Amino acid sequence: DLHKHFPIGTKGLLGKPARWLHAVDGVSFSLERGETLGLVGESGCGKSTTARAIIGLYPPTSGSVKFEGQEISHLTRSERAPFRRRIQMIFQDPYASLDPRQTVASILAEPLKIHRLAKPRERKLRAMQLLDAVGLNPRHIHRFPHEFSGGQRQRIGVARALSLEPDLIICDEPVSALDVSIQAQVVNLLEELQERFGLSYLFIAHDLAVVRHICDRVAVMYLGKVVEIAERDELFGNPQHPYTKALMSAVPHPDPRVERTRERIVLEGDVPSPLDPPSGCRFHPRCIERHKVAGDLCSTVEPQLDTRSACHLTATATAAASI
């Protein structure tokens, strides 16, 4: 039930926040060892904020983050150290996330140095092994980031995330800044490393084709909430929530014959502001299935996420089926 609200502006003499931005507003999911869970949704829906709260960059406003059953969201810096090693992050932009003044050797050795894990000599050896693991030439450790291509730089980002031998890697749009021709290579590398090191991934993306390829399960977010969570094939083949259906309808089908007959669901209007989320179901101002629900339930009562989807429509269907 993770919440992260950010204060916006101030009012009064005491400088109280004028408003609150509800970036993440009651998100719950679990992630198993060795699993890849996709987190999808339009920009601003709270995917990155969720990731940052998990890794400890943002303390949650309320709710909790548990790692192997232990609460980790309210730990002090030193208490958090052992978990920091085990949860790492790969960022979207390999250009911005690597220090241009450091050689690859020092970029890869830095996490080991901070966590006092190896002597200088061993650190260099380890940096070479990491480069090899991500498919780069270990002899290039004395080069600087600008001497590598975009795809190679993201490989360095991956190597850095691996240096502390983590269990969980949060991948925040890891391939969206790369050329399409390079994306598949990096995705394949992530899959190969998962197999080899038994990694779990929380994979944040808005490219649904990539998510379909790599994820075991997928959670769909809308305005700070998870609206649907399901096994990959279930979600893509049989989406339940009206928002998921709209998202899926925008993904082109590889077979042109199917593609020609497919119906696109075009959502009206923009995503409402998280400063002032709509009442009831947050999706109600844009939902084309709302008329199927009796009365004003959709605009007054917030649907809860049952095992699968947060919608009065699916809740009714589930209740009817169980009678």
Which residues form the interface with ligand SF4 (CB under 6 A)?
Answer: 241-242, 281, 283-284, 287, 289-290, 293, 298, 303, 311-313
Q: Using CB atoms, what's the residue nearest to Mg ion?
A: 48
Query: With contact defined as beta carbons under 8 Å apart, do 25 and 17 qualify?
Result: no
DSSP assignments along 46-103, one per residue: SHHHHHHHHHTSS--SBS--EETTEE-TT--HHHHHHHHHHEEEE-S-TTTSS-TTS-
Rounded Cα gap, residues 316 and 102, in angstroms: 57
Using the CB atoms, write b or e for 129-160: b if 16+ within 10 Å. ebbebbbbeeebbebebeebeebbbbbbbbbb
Sign of the four-CA dihedral 72, 31, 53, 185: positive
Rounded Cα gap, residues 269 and 245, in angstroms: 16
Sign of the four-CA dihedral 282, 287, 292, 296: positive
Query: Which of Mg ion, ligand SF4, none binds 277 (CB below 5-8 Å, type-dependent)?
Result: none
Tell me the window of 46-54, 231-239, 249-257, 315-323 that interacts with Mg ion (CB under 5 A).
46-54
Least distance (Å) between residue 47 CB and Mg ion: 5
Tokens representing 98?
Answer: 């690597």
Q: At what angle do helices 120-133 and 150-162 cross, to 10 degrees?
A: 130
Whichever of 48 and 244 has its CB closer to Mg ion, that residue is 48
Least distance (Å) between residue 136 CB and ligand SF4: 46
Q: Which residue type does 317 have? A: A
DSSP character at residue 219: E
Residue 48 interacts with Mg ion (CB under 5 A)?
A: yes
Query: With contact defined as beta carbons under 8 Å apart, do 90 and 170 qualify?
Result: yes
Least distance (Å) between residue 239 CB and ligand SF4: 12
Tell me the window of 40-48, 98-106, 181-189, 214-222 that interacts with Mg ion (CB under 5 A).
40-48
Residue with tokens 């909790």: 64
Whichever of 160 and 312 has its CB closer to ligand SF4, that residue is 312
Least distance (Å) between residue 79 CB and ligand SF4: 40
Rounded Cα gap, residues 121 and 260, in angstroms: 60
Query: Which of Mg ion, ligand SF4, none binds 48 (CB below 5-8 Å, type-dependent)?
Result: Mg ion
Least distance (Å) between residue 278 CB and ligand SF4: 9
Whichever of 117 and 297 has its CB closer to ligand SF4, that residue is 297
Whichever of 48 and 154 has its CB closer to Mg ion, that residue is 48
Residue 163 interacts with Mg ion (CB under 5 A)?
A: no
Query: Which of ligand SF4, Mg ion, none binds 242 (CB below 5-8 Å, type-dependent)?
Result: ligand SF4
Query: Which of Mg ion, ligand SF4, none binds 311 (CB below 5-8 Å, type-dependent)?
Result: ligand SF4
Least distance (Å) between residue 303 CB and ligand SF4: 4
Whichever of 267 and 281 has its CB closer to ligand SF4, that residue is 281
Whichever of 57 and 317 has its CB closer to ligand SF4, that residue is 317
Least distance (Å) between residue 246 CB and ligand SF4: 10
Whichever of 39 and 305 has its CB closer to Mg ion, that residue is 39
Residue 50 interacts with Mg ion (CB under 5 A)?
A: no
Least distance (Å) between residue 302 CB and ligand SF4: 9
Contacts of 162 (CB under 8 A, 6+ apart): 88, 130, 133, 134, 169, 193, 197
- Residue 116's region, left for phi above 0, alpha for psi from -120 to 50, else beta, is left
> In the complex, which residues of this chain contact Mg ion (CB under 5 A)?
48
